[in-house]
Structure formats: structure tokens, C-alpha cells
Structure 1
Amino acid sequence: MAIPKLLVISGSLRKGSYNRMLLKEAQTAFGQAEIIEADLNFPLYDGDLEEAEGVPDDVKTLTDQIKNADAVVISSPEYNKGITGVLKNALDWISRVEGMPFKGKPTVVMSANMGRTGGETGQFMTISCLIPLQAHIVNGPMLCIATAQNEFDDNGALTNDHYKKVLSGKMDALRTAIA
């Protein structure tokens, strides 16, 4: 098999986000792959904007990245017991593009959060938003890294062996879903 293309999506725009750190760990656990990092810095979805100007080019780029990826990994914090606005906005824009880019696409959802639940509710909402887009959600134990500020070292590496084991299992399942 050719080297798989893995699209990684962070639901946080912050460069130093724990979810970006988790995505880096996921890349390592996945193994050899061509990594594409999504940019979700889009205008807010607005039907009037879409009618006047069409779907923004950045959204079309992301849609093409999803279509061309072998799999997608989404890691996002939870904001106020829900999906982040950035991620929800991106999924809303994606839903407006013809061709259903997520349809059948093996997709893993995980989270790192400073709170004690690790972003569990946000993950459920993210999965709920991916269902109408027909993503193939790779099931298995949820990876919800709680008190994330204590789980990564100064270099951004995950330090907790339990979380590493769950992440490795998720990436193994993702590789299997691709095959």
C-alpha cells in the first residue's frame, strides 16, 4: 500500500493548544504517513455570504483535503460543554459543498481538555455533527485527556502511559479502517 494521507484537524486555532500536541502524538502513533494539517480559520457561516460570494476558497481547500485523505483525525477541546465554534463552523461550511467529502471517510475523534472530563461532551457533539456528513467514525475507547495541562511535557509529548496506550489503539484501528 502507498503511504497513507492523514488529515489532522484541530478544533482549536491556538498554536500551543493541547489538541495540537495530541495530534502530533497521534501522528507518531499512526506511523509513516503523509500528514496534512487543516486550517479552520474561516469566516462565520452566513447564507447571505454564501449566496453573494459562494463557498470560500479556504473551505474548498479543506473539502479537497478531506476527499484526498485516506483518513481524518480530529482533536478538539470542549468549550462550555460543547463543540468549539471553530470546528462547528468548519463542519457547517463543509456541509454546503457538493460531493459529501466525509462520506465513508475513516475518522477518529479525540480531545484534550483542561477540565476533569477531558472533553467528553464535546466529542459526543462532534460525532453527532459528523453523522449527517456520513463520516465513518472509527469506534473504540474514547480518548478524553483530562487536566491536559498536567499530561504533556515541556516539549508537547504525552506523558501518561494509559493515554498513550488508548491513542495507540485508536491509531491501530484507524490503520485497519484504511486497509
Structure 2
Amino acid sequence: MATYNIAVVVGSLRKDSFNKKLAKALEKLFPADFSFTQVRIDDLPLYNQDDDGNPSAQVTRLKGEITVAQGVLFVTPEYNRSVPGVLKNAIDHASRPYGKSAWDGKPAAVIGASVGAIGTALAQQHLRNILAYLNVPTLGQPEGFVHAKEGLFDESGNIGEASRKFLQSWVDAYVSWVKTHAGTRA
């Protein structure tokens, strides 16, 4: 039986997203005591502080999924050297109203894939800045700037041979991070 449920937030809406594929492939590298909830963010209204007192059903669902999770895995593309707007919108919704953030204290990891040589390095840095403000302990090392190129995934959608060792070590570091930080939450 799974002990740690991880909320997976993918910052891409594209049907054939590298980052959606990466998230699904990474799940297969985790130990059996980890399970995953794919957090839906494509149906959220644009954040408006006027709605804090009466959030939509979609926002309530989002906050609930984050709240019950023992950790969060952010898998994000990079748009114009930053995070996608849809991801920022989801982060804003789940952090509000002030003082009632669903993100608070959740151990997180940030990773992303891109066809660019630097992967999603700048988007990840921006996301880390946001998460630091929200009191989200975020895995610092190893960083996961994944170059989406031929062989990243095998024909079954698993991580390809050339990237498996690195991504397994990344997953192992995050597993340790979650076990350390999830156990310290009151």
C-alpha cells in the first residue's frame, strides 16, 4: 500500500507534451510506496482575488489534491524564459487566500524537458523563487534540466537507456527528500 501520495503538476496543456510524457515515465522509477495524483490545471479560471471567499469547484478540487498529498512534483516546460501562465495560475489559486496556502511545507521537486539545449533551466529557477516564497521545501540537487531528444523515451514510453541512470538518481534524491520532509510536517 502506498504511503506517500505525490501531487504531479504538469505545466503544459499540449496533448503530446514532452513534460506529460516525462511525468508519466518518472512515476515508473519510484518505489512501490509512492502513488501519484495527476493534478488537473487546464480548467481553472484565471486567478482573481475577488473569488477567494467563494472559490470555484475546480479551485476547491485543486487545493484538496495538494492538501492531501505528501509531496509535489512540478514538471514544467519553459515559455519565454519562464513558467507557463497556466502553471502560475494554478500556483496562485492554491496559495490563496493569504495564510491558507495548500503548498505550505509540501516537499517538492522541479524538473522539465525541452528541445532546447539548456532544458527548462530558467523556468525552473523562476519556479524555485516562487516556491521559496510559498514555504515549499524544494529539492536543490540534482537539478533536472532534461534535453528532449531522440531516445529520451523508449517505444513503451519509459525513460530511455541513455537517460535512465541520471533520472533514477534524481528520483532517488526526491524520494529521500519527501521522506525527510513529509515526516516533519505537523
- TM score, norm. by length of structure 1: 0.88
Q: CA deviation at 1:2?
A: 5.1
SS of corresponding position for 2:36? strand
Which residue of 1 is the match for residue 93 of structure 2? 93
CA distance in 1, matches of 2:155, 2:2: 34
Which residue of 2 is the match for residue 134 of structure 1? 135
For the Cα contact (< 8 Å) 2:67–2:103, is it kept in 1? yes
Which residue of 1 is the match for residue 69 of structure 2? 69
SS of corresponding position for 1:30? coil
Which residue of 2 is the match for residue 158 of structure 1? 159
For the Cα contact (< 8 Å) 1:141–1:166, is it kept in 2? no
Greater Cα offset, 85-94 or 99-108: 99-108
Greater Cα offset, 94-103 or 59-68: 94-103
Which residue of 1 is the match for residue 184 of structure 2? none
Q: Amino acid of the residue matched to residue 170 of structure 1?
A: W
Which residue of 1 is the match for residue 178 of structure 2? 178
For the Cα contact (< 8 Å) 1:73–1:108, is it kept in 2? yes
Which residue of 1 is the match for residue 37 of structure 2? 36
| Number of aligned positions between the proteins | 175
- TM score, norm. by length of structure 2: 0.85
CA distance in 2, matches of 1:169, 1:99: 34
| 4+ residue runs over 4 A deviation | none
CA-atom RMSD in angstroms: 2.0
Unaligned segments of structure 2, at least 5 residues: 180-186
Q: CA deviation at 1:77?
A: 0.3
CA distance in 1, matches of 2:144, 2:165: 10
Which residue of 1 is the match for residue 120 of structure 2? 119
